[in-house]
Amino acid sequence: MEILVILIFVVILVGILLIIFAEIYNKFQTYIIRINEAEADIDSVLRKRFDLLNRSVSVIRGNIETDKEVLEIIVKLRSRKLTNFELDRILYEAINEFNTYKEEYPSLNKVETFLKIAGALNESETEIYALRKYYNEVITNYNKLMMQIPSNLIGLIFKYKIKNYFDGKNMADEVYNDFKL
């Protein structure tokens, strides 16, 4: 009789542990899906920004006279494979250059195509800001799972890694300096 009680206790304990394991594993999977969706959305907006800046090269060249290369950084990007983090930083520089042309050459502000591109770039800034914020919130929650017991044990079992925020920082840069997995 005692063996039966012990066996039932062990079965119940194993069942509870399996339920906890499955719940934490599913949380990780939910965050991984949300991270992938956010990355895909960010990628889409970044590609849209790249395409807008790429189209603006010929519009700028066709409407001003300059000896220097127009948005040279965009021309160089055409054949490179970059992460979203790198692409975002480079596009930000290119948008600043685009805005410099907008200020230095008032004649561009009379070109309808140029104005449409400028408007679309402004809209994309709002989109990318919201997507970065969402991505970083999801990363924060995912990284918290990676640093808390018992979920960090499950993360180690499945070889999950702490992820960087969209700005390239990670949690170890700030609050969690003393905690290492």
From first to last of its 181 residues, the chain has per-residue pLDDT tens of: 899 999 999 999 999 999 999 999 999 999 999 999 999 999 999 999 999 999 998 898 888 887 677 788 887 777 778 888 888 988 999 999 999 999 999 999 899 999 999 999 999 999 999 999 999 999 999 999 999 999 999 999 999 999 999 875 544 444 333 333 3
CB 154 within 8 A of CB 180: no
Residue 170 domain-assigned?
Answer: no
Residue 55 domain-assigned?
Answer: yes
CB 71 within 8 A of CB 56: yes
For the entire predicted model, the pTM comes to 0.80
The separation between CA 44 and the C-alpha centre of its own chain, rounded to angstroms, equals 11
CB 135 within 8 A of CB 43: no
Residue 177 domain-assigned?
Answer: no
Q: What is the largest CA-CA distance in the chain?
A: 96
Q: Which CATH number does the domain housing residue 22 bear?
A: 1.20.1440
Residue 43 domain-assigned?
Answer: yes
What are residue 79's phi and psi, to 5 degrees? Answer: -110, 10
Give the residue from 114, 132, 150 showing the smallest Cα distance to 42.
132
